[in-house]
Amino acid sequence: MKTILLAAVSLAAMASAASANESVSTINQGGIGAKATVTQTASTDTSNSLINQGGVNNEAIVTQSGTGAGTINDSQVTQLSGAGNKAEVIQEAMSADAANASQVTQTGSDGYTKVSQSGSGNTSKVDQNSTFLGLGTGASTQVDQSGDGNDSLVDQVGNNSVVKVHQNDADNTSSVSQTGIGSNVDVDQDGVGNNSTVSQLAGGADVTVSQSGTGNDSDVDQTSLNSDVWIEQLGTNNESDVTQVGQNAEVMVSQDGTSNKSSVGQTGGPGLFGTRIGFGSEVKVTQSGTTNMSEVTETVDNSDVTVKQDGNDNNSLVTQNRQGGPLSSVNERDTAFVTQIGDMNRSEITQDGNRQLADVRQFGDGGESDIVQSGSQHDAVLTQYAGTVGNVSLITQSGTGGHFATVNQMTSNNVSTVVQTGNGAFNTVTVTQ
């Protein structure tokens, strides 16, 4: 959980320096075509606006209003060397102890920033530079906050990239750090005490975070090309942690309930002879219920993972490795499907090699599954039927050949162990309990 502290010193100094009902505005403009419009209305205490512009075609519009006791609005807009920058700040404070603060700093070309805040104690800070690697222009940031005590921090360095932050209700926190070309970050938080942290170093990539409820926490670290991360959390105290390094990759996390946790590490190594890094992998995690836990770790060669958990206290751990050379990238078919519907089920899948498939379906309670596959040509399928309790399955396949294992557990308290190893050509095991 991160905390953003913004403009507190500025607000305190402003309050002490200005008398009641006093509005203060300072504008310094330089260059060609600069324009600044400031409208301040305060029934009590102080509104303050400081605008410094330098460059070409800069424009800043600030509107601050307050209708209640204790209203303090603060806006600082600084636009430096660059062309066509535009900043809009609209703040409304209507409660007795309201104090809004907004700081916008733009350096570069054709950047756009708009901040709208309504309520009490909201703070927003935007640092924007719309030129990245000397190429292109046109970074854009929009922040919309309503409610009490919401904090937004945006640090944007990029070209044709967009950051949108919307926060409603109370004590939500958003931190976005974006560096790249043609990338987008969209954060939408509605509730109390939600936290979102996004770090994006990407080209043509998107991050979408939607959180509604209380105390949800999302952390996204994306270093990717043409990749997507989508997070949705509904409920209370859910946690999502995503690290994505790759190309044409996708991560989708959906959690609804209480105290669910999801951790996804979608990363690829350097490979050999130009092997694709984390190319084309898709991870989907869906959890509904209470205190479910999912952890996915990939070192990616065309690896796909789908985890669905519905119930309470279910646990899923999936690890798929092997970022090899060109032959590995051609032959890999790593997939893992985990479906757990019930309570206190546990699934652990570890795959390292070529052409693996592990499909685990646990529909009872207290079931355990452990599948480890290394080598090539592996398949493993486990089904524990609804209404069963306490079934245990362990499948270990290693070596070369056509390994295949199917286990069906249709009654309760069964134990199955399948081990296939060596260089056999056509190994097959089927167990029905």
Q: State the amino acid at position 371 in one-letter form.
A: I
pLDDT for residue 273 is more than 80: no
Q: Which residue has the higher pLDDT, 157 or 306?
A: 306
| Structural contact between residues 124 and 6, judged by C-beta atoms closer than 8 angstroms | yes
Q: Average model confidence (pLDDT) for the chain?
A: 81
| First CA to last CA distance, the chain | 46
Structure tokens, 390: 């306490």
The average pLDDT across 74-84 equals 68
- DSSP symbol at 279: B
Question: What tens digit of pLDDT does each residue of 313-332 get?
Answer: 999 999 987 765 554 544 46
Question: What tens digit of pLDDT does each residue of 36-60 get?
Answer: 666 667 555 677 666 766 666 777 7
| Predicted local distance difference test score (pLDDT) of residue 108 | 63
| Structural contact between residues 247 and 269, judged by C-beta atoms closer than 8 angstroms | no
The average pLDDT across 154-158 equals 87
pLDDT for residue 113 is more than 50: yes
| Structural contact between residues 53 and 34, judged by C-beta atoms closer than 8 angstroms | yes
| Predicted local distance difference test score (pLDDT) of residue 380 | 93
Q: How far apart are CA 373 and CA 321, in angstroms?
A: 11
| Predicted local distance difference test score (pLDDT) of residue 6 | 37
pLDDT for residue 212 is more than 70: yes
| Structural contact between residues 54 and 81, judged by C-beta atoms closer than 8 angstroms | yes
The average pLDDT across 78-93 equals 69
Q: What is the pTM of this model?
A: 0.86
pLDDT for residue 9 is more than 60: no
| Predicted local distance difference test score (pLDDT) of residue 135 | 47
Q: How far apart are CA 206 and CA 226, in angstroms?
A: 8
Q: Which residue has the higher pLDDT, 430 or 138?
A: 430
- Do the bridges between strand 86-93 and strand 59-66 make them parallel or antiparallel, or are there none, so unpaired? parallel
Top mean-pLDDT range of 72-81, 103-112, 123-132, 358-367: 358-367
| Predicted local distance difference test score (pLDDT) of residue 369 | 96
Structure tokens, 379: 């398949």
Question: What tens digit of pLDDT does each residue of 124-136 get?
Answer: 888 887 655 554 4
| Whole-Å CA distances, 156 to 30, 122, 184 | 24, 20, 11
| Predicted local distance difference test score (pLDDT) of residue 298 | 85
| Predicted local distance difference test score (pLDDT) of residue 86 | 75
| Predicted local distance difference test score (pLDDT) of residue 406 | 93
Q: Which residue has the higher pLDDT, 19 or 113?
A: 113
Helices (H), 281-372: 326-331
